[in-house]
Amino acid sequence: MSETPESMKEKILEALETVIDPELGIDIVNLGLIYGVELNEEGHCQVNLTLTTMGCPLADIITDEIHRALKEIEEIKTIDVKLVWYPAWSPEKMSRYARIALGIR
C-alpha cells in the first residue's frame, strides 16, 4: 500500500459519507455513527458503527450500503461492519453540518 494510514482512513471516511441514513437523510459520518475504521496490511477493513437506536430496523440497509461504498476502494479486500453500542450515540456526536441540517442547536 502506497498510501499512509491517515490518507487511507480519510479515503474510507469519504466513501462512508456517501452512505445516507434513510430516515434522517444525512450521511452516517456526519451523524456520528462511525466509531472507528481500521484497514490492515492484508486489506481487511473493519468499520465500527453504532445506530441512533438499538432496535433500528435499518441496520441491514446501512451495512449493505457500507459494503457498496467501500468495495470501490481497491486497497480494501474484505469488509467487516461491527455494530457497537458503547458509548451510546447521542445528538452531540453529530457534526455541526448535521445539527444545522436537522435544525438541532
CA angle 60, 14, 2 (to 5 degrees): 115
Reported pTM: 0.91
Domain ranges of the chain: 3-96
Percent of the chain with pLDDT over 90: 83
pLDDT at 77: 96
Q: Which residues of the chain have pLDDT under 50?
A: 1
Cell of 99: 445539527
Helix residue ranges, H only, 1-105? 5-16, 59-70, 96-102
Helix (H, G, I), strand (E, B) or coil at 35: strand
CATH number for 3-96: choose from 3.40.50.720, 3.30.300.130, 2.40.160.40, 3.40.50.300: 3.30.300.130
Helix (H, G, I), strand (E, B) or coil at 79: strand
- Cell 441512533: give the residue: 52
